[in-house]
Structure 1
Amino acid sequence: MASIKQDLQETFLGLYETAQEKWSDFTQFLLEAWPLLVALLIILLGVWWYADPPPPRHVMMATGAPGSSYHELGKKYADFFAKKGIILELVQTEGAQEDMTRLANRQDPIQAAFVQAGVDIPQGVSGIESLGAIDYEPIWFFYRGPELKGHDFQAYKAEFKQFYNAKISMGAIGSGTYVQASKILGVNGLGEGPKFVHLSLTQSVSALKEGQIDGAFIVDAYEGPSVQALLEDPSIRLVSFPRAEAYARLLPYLQILHVPTGAFSLVRNFPDYDMRLMSTTTNLLIDNRMHPAIQFLFLEAAREINGKSTFFAKRDKFPSFDNPIFPESAVALHFEKNGSPLLMAYLPFWVAELINRLAFVLLPFLAIAYPVLLTLPGYRDKRIRSKINKLYVMLKGYEQELTDSAGPVSQEIYLQKLDLLEYEALKLNIPKGVSGDYYALRTSIDYVRNCLNRGVHPYQLRDQNISA
């Protein structure tokens, strides 16, 4: 029993002494190598700051016309960003064309926008990427007058026969509504009639409710206040698109949405038959220079806000990455396959971002520093041996002077020189690998000192005795 206890004590003592020895070597190494390590770290921090700057705390986003569902959606995104410590400023615009033009402008501060699929891309526009589709955006045609049934739309060019002399709003020029209305009329072989007007979303709703116009194209989300206001008005009717499949073939970006009988209002039994609507999608577009962390934040917002179950979409339908209107960003591709970085799920945004950015520095630092750390002990030994060799050269010089000198030796002077030489040797921080060379130098200094103490001119006397 005593033997086992003694063995354990000796084992732990050996481990303790080994740890002390390693720690001593490490601290000595840091004392010698810290300038190099600090210089390396400063260089990497400089590269880090310029190659991977921190994300901005203020981002501007275009949300289209006031009163639109985009503006309401933008408020939800702004609240999400505020919880993460970032200000998302919402900027009202005239519509999709302006949004894309401003996103492509390298001098414009707007970095994100909601844009409908199917809008015409301005010529020469570049520098825009997609973070995917985030919602359905149905194409509604509301009107006043007698109810139209499906068979009223079957004859060639008869789809809007009822409105031949009617006053119809196509949406403001440059808006997504105007683009979608133009394309629908175009595939029907129709152009703008003389009574088509171009009103904004809020103007169209107000004019239709007050009877100033007979019909209006509106492209907006089901939850949008403008759409809800028209759906709740019993005097306003809604057109179904029985040839939705044909439209989707001719305009591939369109989606077909089904509305069962009574879905809008069971009390009114509205609609009183199964309807088919056409829909474009809302796409989240960004300036391709947007910081990756902000892109992930937008995607997280889209998943939290738009990923819920809605009237038309099932849960987790959005964000969707099918048929983007612009190339997907690298961050969107990563998010599609892997989701957000793991740390963002468990840590506050700024903490997770800081750790991710530090990894950008620490990994290269370790990759570079590790081989440096491996080579430094050999370099240190070589440098100490070089210092020892210099002292050997000085000692050899003293011996040469003693040997070549024909006059009497000033013993005191050379003893002082040897003391100074030994003092220089004592100041050296010697690693274990060169201990033998160090003590050999000390022994050699003592040997020369002993020779000096033997006589007035010991080297010549020794040489003469040997010759005799």
Structure 2
Amino acid sequence: MRRLLRDLKIMLLTNLWLIPVIAALVGALFYFVAPPPPMHARLATGAASGGYHAFAERLRDELAKQGFDLQLVNSKGSQDNLAKLDNDEVELALVQSGQELSVSEKQRDKLSALGVMYREPLWLFIRADKTFTGLDELKQWRVAIGVPDSGTQAVTGALFAANRIEPEHYPQSWQATGGSRAADALIAGKLDAGFFVGPAENALIQRLAAEPDLRLASLRRVPAYLARLTYLSEVEVGEGMLDMAQNTPREDILTLGPVATLVAGEDFHPSLTPLILEAAKTVLKNGSLLDPTGTFPARPPQSLHTLDEADYYYEKGLPILQRYLPFRIASLADRYIILAIPLLVLLFPLFKAIGPIYRWRVRARIYRWYKHLREVDQQLYKGGLKADISEEIARLERMEDELARVDVPLSYSNELYQLHVHLRYMIERLRALRERR
């Protein structure tokens, strides 16, 4: 056992050169090839009182459980969010579907969609004493159509454009206002109707639904709008769905609306995609008043490029390791597995060289002694020694003592003993030569 341990020690000492080589390869691969994903990102959300911000807060809290820091950045709305992505002010943004069509193709090519988070229906609240039959009728009313560059005005503008009502022909009674200001005016009777965009649970929508002097109108010709505005979807709202006490709406209605899409910019690290989508799935797992359980997140609209990591998530779910391990650990393990292949390719010739190099290093400990024996032999062949024979014999005997302390593996002992024999032979040869003199 001691002999085996000694042989193993010799082998390890002989191949110590591999340690710095392997360390350098591993360090270079990890430093240059696969930097770890950052555990932080910035998300543009919209106004602090809006639905985007409310959802983003829940998403932030869920991601914090995995040690991920999601910083929320308020904005003026979807258009501002797209501008912040383009200017690299944020890595992520919530964008109303269809808004991406308003930017240039060059800007759109820099964006990637992670998925749809939820639907944002368009709500048309009117005074209870009004009768609504179609959008043309609104020309005679005082109507809130949404503030400029807002998601609400983007949708209403698209509907009006489909009816060939262009901005320059908007009646003076239409007001570019929205949100709480429009709701206050509508409740106070200063407006006859108002358009609002947001999920059914939104505090503003719930406030309007609870007002007895207001009612929710149903849009007509929804299929015709959907055929022209493909980024919108049909939304069915059952009687009393928004407020059962006030029975809002008073009958089943149809409306339409965009979807809230999570969009990433160029600085977003794709490896974070499954982490964020899984957090969104947890936040949305119970569904909503209008969205059934398990509906979202869903595949994003085709108008935006989709990350490969997002496609994988929608097809197969989380990567295998992330199903069982925290994201930090799973991410590191994924990197190790991916880097193991090129590392093995690089190390294979090194490991293949271990055997020949090991044999050479061990035999070198033996063969270096033959150099002096060869020199003595050549001098004898040429007719004499440069040094005194007695001095050479003493030198060889010292070599013999040193050789006794040379340690080689058991499998190479035969060569060591052959050297002992050859050394002793040369000593005896020199002694015989000295006696003849």
TM-score exceeds 0.5:
yes
Equivalent in 334, 358, 374 of residue 312 of structure 2 = 334
Equivalent in 45, 58, 66 of residue 40 of structure 2 = 58
Shift of 1:422: 4.6
1:129 to 2:104 alignment: no
3-state SS of 1:372 partner: helix
Residue 11 of structure 2 is matched in structure 1 by 29
Residue 170 of structure 1 is matched in structure 2 by 145
Shift of 1:407: 6.7
Q: Are the equivalent residues in 2 in contact too, given 1:288–1:329 (CA < 8 A)? A: no
3-state SS of 2:194 partner: strand
| Alpha-carbon distance in 2 for matches of 1:340, 1:455 | 85
| Counterparts of residues 346-385 of structure 1 (less than 5 Å) | 346-385=324-363
- Tell me the matched-pair count: 431
Name the CA shift for 1:182/1:380 in 2 (closer, same or farther; >3 Å). Answer: same
| Alpha-carbon distance in 2 for matches of 1:295, 1:360 | 18
- Cα deviations across residues 68-122 of structure 1 (Å, max 9, x unaligned)? 11000010011012111122111011111121122122xx341111111111341
Residue 160 of structure 2 is matched in structure 1 by 185
| Alpha-carbon distance in 2 for matches of 1:223, 1:129 | 28
TM superposition score normalised by structure 2:
0.89
Shift of 1:255: 1.3
| Counterparts of residues 384-423 of structure 1 (less than 5 Å) | 384-386=362-364, 388-406=366-384, 410-419=388-397, 421-422=399-400
| Alpha-carbon distance in 2 for matches of 1:317, 1:24 | 66
Q: Are the equivalent residues in 1 in contact too, given 2:42–2:92 (CA < 8 A)? A: yes
Shift of 1:375: 2.7
Shift of 1:165: 3.3
Structure 1: give runs of 5+ residues left out of the alignment.
1-16, 154-158, 462-468
Name the CA shift for 1:384/1:238 in 2 (closer, same or farther; >3 Å). Answer: same
Q: Identity across aligned pairs (percent)?
A: 25
Name the CA shift for 1:262/1:33 in 2 (closer, same or farther; >3 Å). Answer: same
Query: CA-atom RMSD, angstroms?
Result: 2.7
Q: Are the equivalent residues in 1 in contact too, given 2:379–2:386 (CA < 8 A)? A: no
Shift of 1:358: 3.2
Name the CA shift for 1:323/1:429 in 2 (closer, same or farther; >3 Å). Answer: farther
Residue 301 of structure 1 is matched in structure 2 by 279
Residue 437 of structure 1 is matched in structure 2 by 415
Equivalent in 205, 213, 221 of residue 227 of structure 1 = 205
Residue 30 of structure 2 is matched in structure 1 by 48
Equivalent in 51, 56, 69 of residue 74 of structure 1 = 56
Equivalent in 66, 73, 83 of residue 84 of structure 1 = 66
Shift of 1:271: 2.1
| Alpha-carbon distance in 1 for matches of 2:71, 2:222 | 38
Residue 90 of structure 2 is matched in structure 1 by 110
Structure 1 residue identity aligned to 2:190: Q
Q: Are the equivalent residues in 2 in contact too, given 1:45–1:361 (CA < 8 A)? A: no
| Alpha-carbon distance in 2 for matches of 1:96, 1:427 | 82
Structure 2 residue identity aligned to 1:327: H
Structure 2 residue identity aligned to 1:115: V
3-state SS of 2:254 partner: strand
Moved over 6 A (4+): none
3-state SS of 2:103 partner: coil
Q: Are the equivalent residues in 1 in contact too, given 2:270–2:307 (CA < 8 A)? A: no
Residue 124 of structure 2 is matched in structure 1 by 141
TM superposition score normalised by structure 1:
0.83
